[in-house]
Amino acid sequence: MIEIHLYGKLRRFAENSSLIGDSVLCLEPLPGETSLALLQRAGIPLEELQHVFLNGTLLMTRNRMAPWLRYPQARPDVWRWDEDVEVKSGDRLGLFGEDMPSLVV
């Protein structure tokens, strides 16, 4: 099972879309499925995504400030949305939408 944690306006895709508690989708990955294919299958519009984290590391972002914020990165070029990675059971995705362009921890 893959957990997809949704934040901001993306919470609407989870059963619990309340601001209180976690908004999480759980899906079983298909063999060879990539993160973006999984999200498309879940019905999440890719154009609404601002940041995608995989297991706590930044996988993709539309924000050019990411290197300055020193997020751990899942791959060297986090701005490439045309290069995707295969996901496997046990992975966790964190999705932040257009309403959350800057994340500062």
Whole-number pLDDT of residue 101: 65
Whole-number pLDDT of residue 41: 96
User: pLDDT means per 10 residues in the chain (105 residues)?
Assistant: 94 75 90 96 94 94 81 90 93 91 58
Q: What residues does 4 pair with on adjacent strands?
A: 25, 93
Whole-number pLDDT of residue 94: 96
Whole-number pLDDT of residue 14: 84
Whole-number pLDDT of residue 16: 62
Match 């964190």 to its residue by tokens: 94
